Amino acid sequence: MTPVLDLQGVAFAYPDGHQALFGVDLHVHPGERVALLGPNGAGKTTLVLHLNGILSAESGHGEGSVSVSGLPVTRKNLLEIRRRVGIVFQDPDDQLFMGSVRADVAFGPANLGIKGAALERRVMDALEQVGMAGFADRPPHHLSFGQRRRVAVATVLAMEPEILVLDEPSSNLDPASRRELADILRGLDVTLLMVTHDLPYALELCPRSVVLSGGRVVADGRTYDVLTDDELMRAHRLELPWGFDPRTVPVDSLPG
């Protein structure tokens, strides 16, 4: 089976010489839900920026290869790659800039040439998937932060990506919004890569976790096994929230 995401030996140094990634290998198969964990400065964002070619070895500061469903992430493939890889950034305001929710969600597919009833269907399907169909005519800046984050997810879903990449999806959400977003994400039929410091969220949503530390993959396995490996957790500054013990989570409530 061709992996949706295939990274081989990805190394990258920023122009100031700071080396952020050292030979990262990562393979994600269709339908998988994977959490990307790691302390501050581990290289998670740098890695995510390689997935749709914002950063790449082609820029002259890196090595290795990234491909999405067999298509190499190179300058000449960027349009198709950006259709296949949907990234939801941490701040929804980076993704919402139109006068209405409908216009924001329509922006990407309209750029692909989709119009009329087909465009409206894409927009409403995406908004329904995130429970925001009733907000189509509202200006995004009149919505709460949690609602804006859901609309940001819809802008990406409307592109019908092969992989949905989420950067800290639970950050700044109140407990109810955090849980509602988890319910939404659990219900999506899409391959998912989620960068998070919210370890219970990773356990709840992603059967598999990859730990990046110092620009290297230091663990890749079942989320439960990663979070209960005390030595690994300590070595890479991963801390569970006070009072949370994965061992007490009922096994049948874990995903996958």
Ligand X SMILES: Nc1ncnc2c1ncn2[C@@H]1O[C@H](COP(=O)(O)OP(=O)(O)OP(=O)(O)O)[C@@H](O)[C@H]1O
Of 22 and 145, which CB lies nearer to ligand X in the complex structure? 22
Kindly state whether residue 170 participates in binding ligand X, applying the rule CB under 6 A.
no
What six digits make up the tokens of 8? 């081989």
Kindly state whether residue 236 participates in binding ligand X, applying the rule CB under 6 A.
no
Closest separation in Å from C-beta 124 to ligand X:
34
**Which phi-psi region, left, alpha or beta, contains residue 213 (left: φ > 0; alpha: ψ -120 to 50)?**
beta
Kindly state whether residue 214 participates in binding ligand X, applying the rule CB under 6 A.
no
Kindly state whether residue 196 participates in binding ligand X, applying the rule CB under 6 A.
no
Which range touches ligand X (CB under 6 A), out of 11-19, 71-79, 106-114, 183-191? 11-19
Kindly state whether residue 237 participates in binding ligand X, applying the rule CB under 6 A.
no
CB 218 within 8 A of CB 236: yes
Residues 23-62 that bind ligand X (CB under 6 A): 38, 40-46
Of 44 and 149, which CB lies nearer to ligand X in the complex structure? 44
- Residue numbers at the binding site for ligand X (CB under 6 A): 14, 16, 18, 20, 38, 40-46
